């Protein structure tokens, strides 16, 4: 579904990604794991065209993404849940969800998808008239994921969904991600919480200082001696 | 022996203050909308109103269009001018220092005034429509002001419903909270900025239609509304639409009631004095926090 071949990118003279190649197949859930500053967020921002790749090619369902402006990426079926949620704090929960379904094609199916999101996150229905800025961290993450689902995406990009949340909330968020994967969504998730995310996804890539260092099934990576020593403290 | 329980002329001043407040609130709404969304102050806002007033004059009095069509054309024309102002003048300086953005729109102010002087001359003109006054319980109320107040209020309600209920209106509110992630919603910030500028222009056009019923038109007419609109916005908290609405009515009461007790000019003096005191007390305006 999504293919990256030898993608490099950066900010000004600082290069954050070097020759990154990866693939996400339809129906798969894939994680990109790695330490802070490895370039994981940059990778998702390149896929969403929020920053331009300096070289390499990206394609979605065989269609090259070069020349596609950022605001048209979601129309190709890629919804991005950004780092730190980035909800509109003064808009209500329901208005945030409405923004997620802004595209004309999504507006026609607003009621149906709203029902789906509320079924997935009943808490959002309770809080629907509340400004998103007043939600707890975990609720904000639900709202941000719900907002992305409102566009009816084929591919969901999740940037550090567990960041800044209490351990018990992190458990709940990963439970939800597992359910979303179970709903048949294709998911690309970027995480520092390696132990948790590898229990949820099918495959993973290890990104270190902007380069893919390792890839394989989640079970393989969990069993890898290097990862256990460097990241899991075992 | 009768005891006078209230002064009918004072009541008239209060009512006139409320009517003036409606117009000031409409003026402030346009400026606040632009600032709240695009983060740029259109110093030349009142000059758009001046152009709108001239367009009504020329269409109605020179080309003999029915007044209703001239009004409609005025709103559409000034809306287009607002969009044009954004594309030609504001967009190139969006990333510049605020002072430069201020100076650029200030330049547009003098440019439009000069062009109007060259094109239309310095004579005072009016559209020759004189509306009567109503006598209500001893008060004399101008019909033009009553119409202006009602239409301004209706215009503000329409803008409120648009911002609150529609997808585009929600996007306009959202973009002022987080510009950078709008593309992830499928929204092009550029398009929203042009749309907001057109809406701000349309509000200036509507104000022009209402003011042309009460005031003569001349190239410097913008100076009668521009500074006061800006002060109302700052008093309410620049970019805060509710604050601007409240501030407009407070300001109008100072002008109207102050003018009643002293002389009209003293009303303005009191209003500006109040403004200065509030600025010491709350530099960001009554409801400002930005």
pLDDT at A234 over 70: no
- Give chain A positions within 8 Å (CB) of B37: none
Q: What contacts A95, CB < 8 A, 6 or more positions away?
A: A88, B170, B173, B174
* pLDDT > 90 in chain B, percent: 76
pLDDT of residue B290: 47
Could you tell me which of B165, B229, B224 has the C-alpha nearest to residue B33?
B229
- Least CB–CB distance from B173: residue in A71, A72, A91: A91
Least confident of A142-151, B43-52, B233-242: B233-242
| Region of B239 on the Ramachandran plot (φ > 0 left; ψ -120 to 50 alpha; else beta) | left
- Give chain B positions within 8 Å (CB) of A92: none
**Shortest distance, CA B240 to any CA of chain A (angstroms):** 13
pLDDT of residue B5: 60
Domain ranges of chain B: 8-281
- How far is CA B15 from each of CA B5, B12, B69, rounded to the nearest angstrom? 17, 5, 30
Q: What contacts A21, CB < 8 A, 6 or more positions away?
A: A4, A5, A6, A7, A56, A212
Cβ–Cβ below 8 Å for B167 and A98: yes
- Give chain A positions within 8 Å (CB) of B192: none
Query: What ipTM describes this predicted complex?
Result: 0.92
Rounded to two decimals, the pTM is 0.89
Enter the tokens of residue B115: 């062009």
Q: Quick: pLDDT tens for B246-270.
A: 999 999 999 999 888 888 788 888 8
User: Mutation test of the interface with chain B: which of A46, A47, A70, A105, choosing the one with the most B Cβ atoms within 10 A?
Assistant: A70
pLDDT band at B1 (very low <50, low <70, confident <90, very high): very low
Q: Quick: pLDDT tens for B151-167.
A: 999 999 999 999 999 99
DSSP 3-state assignment of A206? strand
Pairing between β-strand A78-81 and β-strand B139-142 as defined by DSSP bridges: unpaired
Range of A130's domain?
Answer: 89-153
Helices B167-175/A93-100 angle, 10° precision:
110
Q: Quick: pLDDT tens for A86-108.
A: 999 999 999 999 999 999 999 99
Residue B206 is classified by DSSP as H
Domain at B8-281, CATH class: mainly alpha
Cβ–Cβ below 8 Å for B186 and A82: no
User: How many domains are there within chain A?
Assistant: 1
* pLDDT > 70 in chain B, percent: 97
Cβ–Cβ below 8 Å for B173 and A88: yes
């Amino acid at each position: 579904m999504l293919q990256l071949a030898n993608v490099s990118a950066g900010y000004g003279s600082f290069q954050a990604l070097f020759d990154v190649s990866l693939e996400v197949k339809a129906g798969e859930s894939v994680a990109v794991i790695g330490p802070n500053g490895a370039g994981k967020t940059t990778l998702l921002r390149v896929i969403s065209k929020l920053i331009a790749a300096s070289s390499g090619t990206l394609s979605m369902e065989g269609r090259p993404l070069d020349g596609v402006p950022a605001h048209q990426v979601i129309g190709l079926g890629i919804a991005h849940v950004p780092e730190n949620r980035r909800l509109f704090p003064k808009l209500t929960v329901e208005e945030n969800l409405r923004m997620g379904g802004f595209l004309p094609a999504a507006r026609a199916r607003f009621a149906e998808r709203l029902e789906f999101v509320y079924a997935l996150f009943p808490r959002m229905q309770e809080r629907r008239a509340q400004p998103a800025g007043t939600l707890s961290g975990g609720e904000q993450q639900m709202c941000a994921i719900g907002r992305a689902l409102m566009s009816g995406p084929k591919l969901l990009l999740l940037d550090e969904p567990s960041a800044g949340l209490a351990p018990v909330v992190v458990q709940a968020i990963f439970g939800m991600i597992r359910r979303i994967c179970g709903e048949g969504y294709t998911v690309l998730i970027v995480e520092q919480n390696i132990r948790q995310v590898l229990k949820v996804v099918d495959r993973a890539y290890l990104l270190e200082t902007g380069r893919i260092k390792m890839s394989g099934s989640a079970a393989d990576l969990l069993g890898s001696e290097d990862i256990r020593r460097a990241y899991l403290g075992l | 022996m009768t005891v006078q329980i209230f002064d009918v002329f004072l009541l008239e001043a209060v009512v006139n203050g409320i009517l003036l407040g409606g117009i000031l609130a409409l003026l402030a709404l346009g400026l606040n909308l632009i600032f709240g969304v695009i983060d740029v102050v259109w110093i030349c806002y009142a000059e758009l109103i001046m152009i709108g007033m001239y367009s009504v004059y020329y269409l109605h009095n020179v080309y003999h269009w029915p007044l209703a069509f001239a009004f409609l054309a005025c709103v559409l024309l000034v809306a287009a001018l607002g969009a044009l102002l954004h594309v030609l003048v504001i967009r190139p300086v969006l990333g510049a220092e605020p002072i430069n953005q201020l100076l650029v729109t200030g330049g547009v102010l003098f440019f439009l005034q000069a062009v109007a002087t060259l094109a239309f001359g310095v004579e005072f003109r009016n559209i020759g429509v004189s509306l009567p006054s109503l006598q209500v319980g001893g008060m004399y109320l101008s019909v033009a002001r009553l119409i202006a107040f009602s239409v301004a209020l209706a215009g503000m309600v329409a803008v409120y419903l648009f911002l609150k209920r529609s997808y585009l209106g929600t996007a306009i509110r959202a973009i002022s909270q987080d510009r950078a992630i709008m593309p992830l919603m499928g929204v092009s910030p550029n398009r929203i900025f042009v749309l907001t500028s057109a809406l701000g222009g349309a509000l200036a056009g509507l104000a022009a239609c209402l003011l042309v019923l009460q005031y003569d038109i001349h190239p410097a007419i913008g100076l009668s509304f521009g500074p006061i609109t800006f002060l109302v916005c700052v008093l309410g908290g620049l970019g805060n639409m509710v604050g601007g609405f409240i501030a407009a009515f407070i300001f109008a009461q100072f002008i109207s009631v102050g003018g009643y007790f002293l002389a009209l000019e003293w009303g303005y003096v009191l209003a500006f004095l109040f403004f200065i005191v509030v600025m010491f007390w709350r530099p960001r305006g009554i409801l400002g926090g930005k």
